[in-house]
């Protein structure tokens, strides 16, 4: 309001000055002998017009400079106190306040962008973006750590992580998360994959979140199996303990009464003693399952594989398992592993014995192999292979379940316990088919 009054006042006196100069010039033109007055009046008119133009243009120039500064993002321009009087001081200060507000807004946006970029970059879930040209970018640290085993930015470059994962990158479905098989560090796992579509730079970009959950699934599965085994063994042992005790008591009583003269008593004695032995066998069978209801305690240490593997080979030869030769390979020779040597020895001895038994009953020249190597992710891969009949594909997912066995004399404990030990190391164990057509158990720790 003050600027308006001062501006009008300045405009009025400049207009009065212009009119006075014009009147003086007009009067001098109609009078004789006033040449000097005419020149002076003309110059005064020109000066009044120039002053009027400059006065009006000052506002336009400042506004144009302000608009240009905003247009090109040059917020360093200053407008304070550039013109004094006639309200232009207040006008300049208003422009300066507007520029300062823009500076503060820019700083606020920069700080907000930095915050959101930090949140995005440090998010615990891997985030990828796929644009319209099928270019894949790793959007944060978790993604760069998780997908560090390949080069390239095309969807096809992610083939090392599995065909199912590549399909999830090309799928345009946006909605509920889905479980997708994925291969990480040569280990088949399961990841939860979800997608969302966002606008960026005028185009649509798909943001894909990938969260491996195999560890959580394994923990839930092992806990459920352990609870089931614990309940079953508890109930069975509670029922069998009095049966076993009574069977032994009855056997002792009949043995004392059997003098050899009555055939019926001898038959009863044989039946009761058989019952007592079977009851003992059942108790031993149930007791053997108690070990898989307890999580193995892992005492990790770093040790060289070659020397430890040779000791394992000596143990296997000392047991003379089916007279089946073992081929041992450690690459590189100085390979080390961070694991519990005793628990890992238990796992591998069990797998090697199973492989030797399968090969001895199938191949003319049975053989088993044990190899150690390093994965691209600096983990240790252990392969136990044989040239036996292998495991049918229909049973490949069941061999690690408690109580499941394909051997007539098996208990179904060994492979389940082996899986528990491997998972307790944070590793994985999987069944495949060996090059010789037998079974291949692959452990990654």
Q: Where are the domains of the chain?
A: 2-116, 124-212, 217-293, 301-444
Cβ neighbourhood burial of 182 (10 Å; 0-12, 13-18, 19+): buried
pLDDT score for 290: 64
The CATH classification number of 124-212 equals 3.30.450.20
Give the other-Cβ count within 10 Å of 302's Cβ.
8
Task: With beta carbons less than 8 A apart as the criterion, state whether 436 and 387 touch.
Answer: yes
Mean pLDDT by 10 residues, the chain (445 residues): 62 78 76 73 81 72 73 72 54 74 86 86 90 89 86 88 87 75 82 87 84 80 72 74 84 80 81 82 68 74 93 81 84 93 90 90 89 87 93 81 64 76 86 90 91
pLDDT score for 321: 62
Confirm whether pTM is higher than 0.75.
no
User: Quick one: tokens of 110?
Assistant: 């920069």
Residue 202 φ then ψ, to 5°: 80, 0
The end-to-end CA distance of the chain, in Å, is: 78
Regarding the domain delimited by 301-444, which CATH topology (the fold level of the hierarchy) does it fall under? Heat Shock Protein 90 (3.30.565)
Residue 383 φ then ψ, to 5°: -115, 125
User: Quick one: tokens of 440?
Assistant: 């291949």
Give the other-Cβ count within 10 Å of 421's Cβ.
23
Q: According to the 3-state scheme, what is the secondary structure of the chain?
A: CHHHHHHHHHHHHHHHHHHHHHHHHHHHHHCCCCHHHHHHHHHHHHHHHHHHHHHHHHHHHHHHHHHHHHHCCCCCCCCCCCCCCCCHHHHHHHHHHHHHHHHHHHHHHHHHHHHHHHHHHCCCCEEEEECCCCEEEECCHHHHHHCCCCCCCEHHHHHHHCHHHHHHHHCCCCCCCEEEEEEECCEEEEEEEEEEEEEECCEEEEEEEEEECHHHHHHHHHHHHHHHHHHHHHHHHHHHHHHHHHHHHHHHHHHHHCCCCCHHHHHHHHHHHHHHHHHHHHHHHHHHHHHHHCCCCCCCEEEEHHHHHHHHHHHHHHHCCCCCCEEEEECCCCCEEEECHHHHHHHHHHHHHHHHHHHHCCCCCCCEEEEEEECCCCCEEEEEEECCCCCCHHHCCCCCCCCCCCCCCCCCCHHHHHHHHHHHCCCEEEEEECCCCCEEEEEEC
Cβ neighbourhood burial of 116 (10 Å; 0-12, 13-18, 19+): exposed
- Residues paired with residue 444 on neighbouring β-strands, in sequence order: 381, 428
For strand 368-374 and strand 326-330, is the pairing parallel, antiparallel, or unpaired?
A: parallel
Longest Cα pair distance anywhere in the chain, in angstroms? 177
- Residues paired with residue 152 on neighbouring β-strands, in sequence order: none
- The alpha carbons of the chain give a radius of gyration, in whole angstroms, of 45
Task: With beta carbons less than 8 A apart as the criterion, state whether 396 and 443 touch.
Answer: no
């Amino acid at each position: 309001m003050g600027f308006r009054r001062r501006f009008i006042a300045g405009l009025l006196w400049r207009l009065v000055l212009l009119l006075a100069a014009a009147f003086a010039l007009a009067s001098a033109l109609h009078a004789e002998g006033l040449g000097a007055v005419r020149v002076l009046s003309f110059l005064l008119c020109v000066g009044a017009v120039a002053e009027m133009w400059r006065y009006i243009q000052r506002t336009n120039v400042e506004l144009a400079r302000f608009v240009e500064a905003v247009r090109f993002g040059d917020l360093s321009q200053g407008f304070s106190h550039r013109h004094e009087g006639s309200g232009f001081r207040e006008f300049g200060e208003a422009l300066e306040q507007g520029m300062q507000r823009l500076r503060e807004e820019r700083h606020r946006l920069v700080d907000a962008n930095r915050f959101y970029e930090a949140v995005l970059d440090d998010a615990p879930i891997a985030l990828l973006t796929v644009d319209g040209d099928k270019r894949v970018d790793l959007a944060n640290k978790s993604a760069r750590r998780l997908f560090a085993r390949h080069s390239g930015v095309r969807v096809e470059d992610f083939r090392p992580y599995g065909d199912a994962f590549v399909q999830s990158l090309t799928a345009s479905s946006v909605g509920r998360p889905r479980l997708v098989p994925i291969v990480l560090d040569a280990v088949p796992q399961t990841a939860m994959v979800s997608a969302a579509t966002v606008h960026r730079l005028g185009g649509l970009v798909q943001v894909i979140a990938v969260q491996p959950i195999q560890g959580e699934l394994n923990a839930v599965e092992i806990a459920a199996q352990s609870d089931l085994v614990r309940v079953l063994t508890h109930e069975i042992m509670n029922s069998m303990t009095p049966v076993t005790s009574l069977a032994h008591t009855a056997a002792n009583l009949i043995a004392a009464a059997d003098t050899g003269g009555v055939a019926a008593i001898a038959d009863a004695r044989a039946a009761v003693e058989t019952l007592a032995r079977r009851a003992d066998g059942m108790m031993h069978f149930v007791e053997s399952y108690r070990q898989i209801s307890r999580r193995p305690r892992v005492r990790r240490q770093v040790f060289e594989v070659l020397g430890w593997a040779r000791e394992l080979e000596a143990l296997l030869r000392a047991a003379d398992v089916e007279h089946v030769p073992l081929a041992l390979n450690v690459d590189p020779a100085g390979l080390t592993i961070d694991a519990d040597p005793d628990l890992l020895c238990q796992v591998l001895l069990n797998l090697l014995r199973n492989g030797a038994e399968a090969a001895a009953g199938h191949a003319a020249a049975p053989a088993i192999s044990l190899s150690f190597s390093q994965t691209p992710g600096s983990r240790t891969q252990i392969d136990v292979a044989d040239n036996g009949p292998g495991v049918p594909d229909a049973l490949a997912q069941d061999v690690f379940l408690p109580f499941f066995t394909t051997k007539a004399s098996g208990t179904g404990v060994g492979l389940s316990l082996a899986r528990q030990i491997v998972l307790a190391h944070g590793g994985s164990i999987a069944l495949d088919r060996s090059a010789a057509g037998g079974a291949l158990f692959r452990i990654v720790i």
